[in-house]
Amino acid sequence: MADSRRQPSTAEPAGTPIAFAGDDSEARKSEAWARVCRRLRAEFGEEVFSSWFRCLELDALSQNDAYLSVPTKFLQSWIRLHYADRMLPALANEFPAVKRLSISVRTSARPPACRSTGGVPTIAAIGTASSSQGRALMANAPVVAAASFEAAISAPKKLPAIHAGEEDSLAGSPLDRRLIFANFLVGSSNQLAHAAALRIASAPARGTLEYNPLYLHASVGLGKTHLLQAVAHAAASEKQRVIYLTAERFMYGFVSALKAQTAIAFKERLRAIDVLVIDDIQFLQGKSIQQEFCHTLNALIDSRRQIITAADRPPADLESLDERVRSRLAGGLCIEIGALDETLRIKILESRIAAAKLAHPTFNVPAAVIAYVASVIRTNGRDLEGAINRLLAHASLNSVPISMETAELAIRDLVRAPEPKRVKIEDIQKLVATHFNVTRADMLSSRRTATVVRPRQIAMYLAKILTPRSLPEIGRRFGGRDHTTVLHAVRKITGLVAADNALAEEIELLKHMLLE
């Protein structure tokens, strides 16, 4: 009796897909696809393979085309945009006739996705009844996926369901109910940052984004976290999907999702929110984590979702971060929150005293003591709050009124010698350029005339001894020069200073002007 299974005909026209439906070559094709997967894993690494290719399946082949499928539009768009060209050689190595590949989204008629054997995706048969049904389904699959990346992430959709073990990795950091706009005290040092945050918080959902991303930077205790959490509270009150994360929480969530093999759901849920708030971005570590953060930034910005981040220094100074991340952060609105002026320090002290009196009605601090505390504690708001806690403890535990002597005793550990001024490379460049009557653009250029080379070398020397920046970083800030150029400049000026008293005095004057 003749074999009733339909065999692929050599006369079939080019481009007609041949489905895998249990024919004699099925095992060989499965082995070939497994080798393709091993090549992809070796080329891209285990993390990338697990995140993007684990659910990829080979459905059918034609004379020149390979038909692949994934379970979601997001995966389809991401693989097509970022990996399709690099996947083709791996496919062609096992299937020499393949010149093109098509990535489609599996429909509800398809079997469950992400089947694997030993961690390698298996070849899936199309349809449930016969190979002809599979060919009919694949005939409707476009060679190039139609959905763009932006459409895939910006289209309104429900958040993917959270499976067991996934919720912890996606949960945001807890918000402090006290950190709202109504409790934020505004002064000259934080007025611009407050206005920008308030504008973002009051903007309608999916409206025009004036400042995206918003990047706040300041030393500790100057109000960055307060503003970030205030925006998160305001966005949540407007029924927007918002998540507040510290850099540590973001790293923990991503690593947990990788371990639980839920990285795709983690990425999709993160990209489906309206407002992403990330604090302490300077602590973001790890190449793969920074790459994922960069992908998240790009996805949210392209889909017009708001991003707000904060760190302790400007984006250009975050040397541990990938350059693409720094560039994205610097491309928005960057605002520095300056040191607290004395007027604002007094307002903070009065606010903390008023809050303490709600629980301790007899607690009273004379105006002279408030002025004294504001004059000697100039660091940050946390130290000011610590001063009030110490005054309250002395008043309540010793049952004595607050006086100047009591205040001096209570806060003596908080009174610190003023820290030396933190010098910036830009300040060095401007001062040296003005002093030697050249422009800053000249120092950053490739000009090698003596009138430019000497000031440039002096500026590099001062940058090395007055800032914590590395030689490669200093070189990048001086027009993208190599670190050996900076090292040569430092050695050159060091030798000249030892031999030339006039130049030594001149450089000492510049150092004094930068540090005062």
Q: Domain check: are 127 and 266 in the same one?
A: no
Same domain? 275 vs 358 = no
Angstrom distance (rounded) from CA 504 to CA 495: 10
CA-wise closest residue to 59 among 108, 9, 12, 113: 113
Q: Using 50, 70 and 90 to split pLDDT, how confident is the model at 172?
A: low
Domain match, 354 and 332 both: no
Tens digits of residue pLDDT in 121-148: 333 333 333 333 333 333 333 333 223 2
With contact defined as beta carbons under 8 Å apart, do 76 and 152 qualify? yes
- In the structure, what pLDDT confidence band is assigned to residue 154 with cuts at 50, 70 and 90? very low
Residues 128, 202, single domain; the answer is no
The Cα 516–Cα 511 span in angstroms is 9
Q: Tokens in use for 80?
A: 């097509």
Averaged pLDDT score across all residues of the chain: 77
Q: Does residue 3 lie in a domain region?
A: no
For residue 470, give the CATH number of its domain.
Answer: 1.10.1750.10
Q: Which pLDDT tens digit goes with each residue over 307-333?
A: 999 998 888 888 778 888 888 888 889
Q: Are 489 and 460 in contact (CB under 8 A)?
A: yes
195 located within any domain: yes
pLDDT digits (tens, 9 = 90+) for 232-254: 988 888 888 888 988 888 888 88
**Which residues form the domain of 469?**
425-515
The tens digit of pLDDT for each residue in 443-485 reads 888 888 888 999 999 999 999 999 888 899 899 889 889 999 9
Do 123 and 229 belong together in one domain? Answer: no
Residue 483's CB is within 10 A of a number of other CB atoms, namely: 14
User: Is the same domain home to 332 and 229?
Assistant: yes
Residues 390 and 326 in one domain: no
In percent, how much of the chain has pLDDT > 90? Answer: 14
Residues 63 and 146 occupy one common structural domain: yes
Q: Single out the residue in 303, 336, 369 at which a domain terminates.
A: 336
Note the pLDDT of residue 41.
85
Q: Within this chain, do residues 182 and 292 fall inside the same structural domain, yes or no? A: yes
Q: In 97-207, where does DSSP find H-type helix?
A: 131-139, 149-154, 167-170, 191-202
**Distant-in-sequence, close-in-space partners of 153: CB < 8 Å, separation ≥ 6:** 74, 271, 272, 299, 302, 303
Per the structure, how many domains does the chain have?
4
